[in-house]
A and B are shown apart, each in its own frame.
Chain A
Amino acid sequence: MHGLAFDIAHFLAGGMVVASFLLLYQDRLYALINVFALHSLVLALAVGWQAAIQGAHHLYITAGIALVFKAIVIPVALHRIVRRLGIHRTLEAVGGVGRDMLAGTGLVALAILVMLPVTATADALAREDLAFALAVVLLGLLLMVTRRNAVSLVIGFMSLENGLVLAAAGARGMPLAVEISVAFSVLIALIVIGIFLFRIRERFDSVDMQAMDTFREERRR
């Protein structure tokens, strides 16, 4: 039984890393949002499985939050934002899929190399979980660094946060209050970011970060 439970947890956490890779090369915003919903769904499953095998019932709440908010509410909201901004047809120039994939692979290797020696005394489940979680966080950062569209930055940030929740679920004894507050902070971040996106568009006629950068350059001179 232990072997199978471990394998499923391993599979789900690995699934998150795969979903992060999927995020890296989506050049359409709808596709990006959909993959993010998948990412969150896998997270909900992974956390739910952890709850089952750890016997930690409060993790079900975390899984529920992930499922309801991250897999449903936030993607739907982002869909609406994209439609209202009228950028659903935009193709984002993702420079060099191969390059990003290679970099991502390197980051996963790095995450494993960092985490496995550090957590030598922890149990195997937590070790794998933490290594995958770090990989998800790093991939989220990579997404944020390589994208220019503000909506893509939001997705990158949210996927990074998913990695943190995965780490929290793997490490036993994380209080529920912390998880709930993290979930809420993400929700509030979404609201704030949503408002800001509209404000930015109002002012610059674009949500491309480059437009803001040129504006800053002008201010500087």
Chain B
Amino acid sequence: MPLSLLLGLAMALLTVDLHAIAASRRKGCSHRVYGVSLTICIILLGTALAHLLGDRTPATLTLPLGLPWLGAHFRLDALSAFFLIVVNLGGAVASLFALGYGQHEQAPERVLPFYPAFLAGMNLVLLADDAFTFLFAWEFMSLSSWALVMAHHREPANARAGYLYLVMACFGTLALLLAFGLLAGPDGGYDFAAIRAAQVTPGAAALALALALAGAGSKAGLVPLHVWLPLAHPAAPSHVSALMSGVMTKVAVYGFIRIAFDLLGEPAWWWGGLVLALGGITAVLGVLYALMQHDLKRLLAYHTVENIGIIFIGLGLALAFQTNHMYANAALALTAALFHILNHSLFKSLLFLGTGAVLTATGERDMERLGGLIHPMPWTALAFLIGAAAISALPPLNGFVSEWLTFQAILASPELPQWPLKFLVPAVGALLALSAALAATCFVKAFGITFLGRPRSPAAAGARETDRYSLVALFVLAALCLLAGILPGLVVDGLSPVVSMLNGSTRLTAQSSQPWLTLVPVVDVKSTYNGLLVLLFMAISGTVAALLIHRFASAAARRGPAWDCGFPEASPATQYTAGSFAQPIRRVFGSVVFQARERVFMPPPGDARPARLEVELPDPVWDRGYAPIAAAVVALSTRFNAFQYLTIRRYLSLVFGALVVLLLGMVLWR
């Protein structure tokens, strides 16, 4: 029975954990922990894949754990199987990468014990079938990932990130707890089967949806609950960053899908609108933040925010179509969202692992101090380039397919009867297009500044290619990105059981029967896409162009010193920088969205100080949303601080006074 196998394997991860706690300082422990994690993840991946492509009958299991009157319910259905694939694929590749990367870890005893626990927590969230087990696993996942964020806790920035993460994780779990409480109703039917069967009032359902959106959204990084994510994800070791950004955010999305599509009943029409609007704002703001970032890992973390926005756009569209019983279109939107979930886990893991390789080689995350890495690290550069092209939604890679499918769903929106949605959806489409274009800009910057040009620091100049394990991990992901891009029909077919489970058993038409592996989401007169043909065309035209250039142009070219436009012996600091690349965008969008200000300080004649250009980039979400809350909490606790230093008589008087007031209230109220 696959479910007990999955649970057993998750438990096995926890056993690895015990070993890691006992032996983390010993030599070879790192290899053992990551090796066993890799093996377990591969078996979990295989089991989930077999379930999704095989018989697909949901399996359930109840263990006498947890709350005594409830027990621990577990269930394996198409949705959890799909997410198990995403999680364990990411887990396996990150473990493989860590076989090499983990050797450079200075404090393995702070990473090894929590790594398998983190993987186990994510797997258990996906298998949970009652609210208690779900929340328990969710918190387990949060806490173990918090411990990983705090692995290098001596840096003050990491400590702050960890604190913020903890606060936001508590908030998210509280929201989910309340959502499940609303869904379970006064009788406390906390297992998901009872919640599915129960009918909640429309008001309670709407509140539960909003709470689920807040709870899962805070973990996934939905604006305005994203603030912890760009701080916490980069603070962890790189393979953990890849897991957190590529995989854990997907577990959060799973939580939202499970509640919104599976547990809640019929959606109201404005739910889809709410999710759509949040998704659109998240996508654009995420990518704008990313453009302003010159820290490579933080840039990637902001891109996670953007991609979560894209996923939520798909989910919002699916909700909107489901309200109006347009299940064919809903199937399209759901497929797009699920496809993008898979894609984002692939290329975001790839990019974070690539950054990890750069970090090992140079010790730098700041792009302004990198550059020219394509020469010492050609293979890492190639893999990173594939990931960058995929996340920028360039054909023939996978990012294009899922964003194209999302656009197909958006194009179906005029069929929606509600006027607000008719207006909202095209606007969100425009936001999506904008974010896709800005993402491409951003990755031109990320790849160009990091890998091209000349080294900007001695650390970048002395870089070496990364180890074999890491390279294999990078190229596994790069190959998967390419495969999912040129054979999208197979992926769409693989997703169809999940879609039909969430969508009243309506799914897209089977794609494998289409000629030439073409992707035909609706009908072929409307729109089709063939990744294979695009790849062929690009390969042929690229080869021809290269041949022509070499034949006619290069032969006549001379090799001269680089950057020598009348300025010999130029310093690497004269190169185009990340800041200069982002400046036009900052002027166009930043001055409106972030109120970015530039100040030029020009010393008066005779003054020896250098001229300075200062850029001020406030974060409106933090300044308007979080800073007032933090200030209020501090002010309130300062007020109440006095209560810590009262005399015994004062405390007694307070108790006495409270008692008398309550009794008086009771008398008067009756």
Interface residues of A (CB under 8 A from B): 107, 110-111, 113-114, 117-118, 138, 141-142, 144-145, 148, 153, 209, 212-213, 216, 220
Contact = CB atoms under 8 A, between A and B. Distances in A.
A209 B653 CA distance: 14
Contacts of B652: 141, 144-145
B374 to A, nearest CB: 63
Q: Which of B652, B659, B666 has the most CB of A within 10 A?
A: B652
A142 B648 contact: no
Given A141-B652, A148-B649, A220-B645, A117 B660 contact: no
A138 B647 contact: no
B667 interface: yes
A114 B667 CA distance: 6
Given A145-B649, A145-B652, A216-B647, 15 more contacts: A107-B660, A110-B663, A111-B663, A114-B667, A138-B659, A141-B656, A144-B652, A144-B656, A148-B649, A209-B647, A209-B649, A212-B647, A213-B647, A213-B649, A220-B645
A106 to B, nearest CB: 9
Contacts of B656: 141-142, 144-145
B664 interface: yes
B670 interface: yes
- B interface secondary structure, majority: helix
A113 to B, nearest CB: 5
Interface in B631-652: 645, 647-649, 652
Contacts of A113: 667
A107 B656 CA distance: 11
A110 B660 contact: yes
Contacts of A110: 660, 663-664, 667
Nearest to B666: A114
B645 A114 contact: no
17 contacts: A110-B663, A110-B667, A114-B667, A117-B670, A118-B666, A138-B659, A141-B652, A141-B655, A141-B656, A141-B659, A145-B649, A145-B652, A153-B648, A209-B649, A213-B648, A213-B649, A220-B645
A199 to B, nearest CB: 15
Nearest to B645: A220
Contacts of A213: 647-649
Contacts of B670: 117
Nearest to B650: A213
Contacts of A138: 659-660
A148 B653 CA distance: 12
B535 to A, nearest CB: 74
A141 B666 CA distance: 19
Contacts of A114: 663, 666-667
Contacts of B666: 114, 118
Interface residues of B, number: 15
A220 B659 CA distance: 29
The 8 closest A-B pairs by CB, nearest first: A213-B647, A113-B667, A141-B656, A145-B653, A114-B663, A145-B656, A145-B652, A144-B652
Contacts of B645: 216, 220
Given A138-B659, A138-B660, A141-B659, A209 B667 contact: no
Contacts, number: 38
A216 B646 CA distance: 9
Contacts of A111: 663
A179 to B, nearest CB: 23
B648 A209 contact: yes
Contacts of A144: 652, 656
A110 B637 CA distance: 34
A143 to B, nearest CB: 10
Nearest to A106: B660
Contacts of B667: 110, 113-114
Contacts of A145: 649, 652-653, 656
A142 B663 CA distance: 15
Nearest to B663: A114
Nearest to A217: B645
Contacts of B659: 138, 141
A58 B433 CA distance: 82
Contacts of B664: 110
A180 to B, nearest CB: 27
B661 to A, nearest CB: 11
Nearest to A140: B656
A117 B664 CA distance: 13
B621 to A, nearest CB: 39
A152 B663 CA distance: 25
A153 B655 CA distance: 15
A196 to B, nearest CB: 12
Contacts of A209: 647-649
A213 B653 CA distance: 15
B560 to A, nearest CB: 76
B365 to A, nearest CB: 45
